[in-house]
Amino acid sequence: MDELMTDNRKVKVTVNGVKYEASAEPRTTLVDFLRAELGLTGTHVGCEHGVCGACTILMDGRSVRSCIMLAVQADGAELTTVEGLSIDGQLHPIQEAFRESHGLQCGFCTPGFLMTIFELLEENPNPGDEEINEALGGNLCRCTGYQSIVEAVKIAAARSAS
């Protein structure tokens, strides 16, 4: 087993503006690092093979699946997770839009969707139907049937435009 028990590495990351330095085995996934080491449990694990998108976070502004990345790969990076969206309990406009459109039921996949949509609206504040579907196509939701999530994107986009 020795080859599996390699030395821990130091990982320095900035998450939601806060600097962290912690150690991780090279094999530790980024999502396990965020959840277990840093205590940021808002990012969820759904499939552990990069399909469902529940673990989506932003790394240097780009969405990544934190279940199929290693913590060491994020060394030096700036990360944003769902905990970084709301400030002082005040919902982010995308979160508000989700609540308004009933864009969630169980809420487990929601943090991944929020981060995906955050990225979409940063890049394209006024996306069309095709662009919305293209962006959401990599996130699975088993409860809502997506209609209300698409609606949430439109509400959030309209509100930021006004």
Partner 1 sequence: MDVNIPKSLDELPTSEVRWVSKPIQRVEDPSLLTGRTEFIDNLTLPGMLHCAILHSPHSHARIVSVDTSKAEQLPGVVAVVTGEDAERWTKPIGTVPKGWGVRSLAVDKARFVGEPVAAVAATSRYIAEDALELIDVEYEPLPPIADPSEAMKDGSPLVFEENETNVMIDRTFTWGEVDEAFDQADHVYTEKFRWNRVGANPIETFGVVSQWDPVEETITCHGGFQAPAYMALGVAVRFRIPPNRVRLVAHPHGGSFGGKGGGRGTDITVMLSRKTGGRPVKYIEDRIEYMIAGGSQAWDRRYEASLAVKSDGTVTGLKVKLLDDLGATGEGYAAISAAKPLAAFTGCYAIPAAGYEMTVVATNKTPGSPYRGMGPPPHNFVLEQMMDIAARGLKIDPAEMRRKNFIPADAFPYTIPSGNEYDSGNYDATMDELLKMSNYEELRRDQEKARAEGRCVGIGVVTSIEPGVFNNNIYNILGNMGGTAVPEGVTISIDIFSKITARVGFALEGQGQYTFVAQILADYFNATPDDVRVVCQDTLSAPPHYGPGGSRMAVALSGAVLGASDMIRQKLIAVGSRLIGLAEGDAEFMDGVVRAKDDHDRKIVLRDVVGAILYRSDLLPPGTEPTVDATYVWTAPDRGMPDDQGRAKSYLTAANACHLVMVEIDLDTGKVDILKYFIADDCGTRLNPAVVDGMTQGGVAQGVGAALLEEYAYDDSGQLLTATFMDYLIPTVHEVPPTEKSALTTPSPLTPLGTKGMGEGAMNTTPAAIMSAINDALSPLGVQAREVPATPNRIWKLVQGARDASKDS
Rule CB under 8 A: which residues touch partner 1? Answer: 1, 4, 25, 27-28, 35, 41-49, 51-52, 54, 81-83, 85-86, 89, 91, 95, 98-100, 102, 104-111, 114, 133, 136-150
Q: 16: number of CA atoms within 13 Å, CB side?
A: 15
* Dihedral over alpha carbons 43, 44, 47, 51 (to 10 degrees): -40
Quote the Cα angle for 71-32-134, to 5°: 80
Shortest separation between residue 78's beta carbon and partner 1, angstroms: 19
Nearer to partner 1, 52 or 76 (CB): 52
Shortest separation between residue 27's beta carbon and partner 1, angstroms: 7
Nearer to partner 1, 13 or 110 (CB): 110
Concatenated DSSP letters of 16-81: TTEEEEEEE-TT-BHHHIIIIIS--TTS--S-SSSSS-TTEEEETTEEEETTSSBGGGGTT-EEE-
Nearer to partner 1, 66 or 95 (CB): 95
Shortest separation between residue 40's beta carbon and partner 1, angstroms: 8
Nearer to partner 1, 20 or 108 (CB): 108
Q: Are strands 18-24 and 9-15 parallel, antiparallel or unpaired?
A: antiparallel
Shortest separation between residue 61's beta carbon and partner 1, angstroms: 19
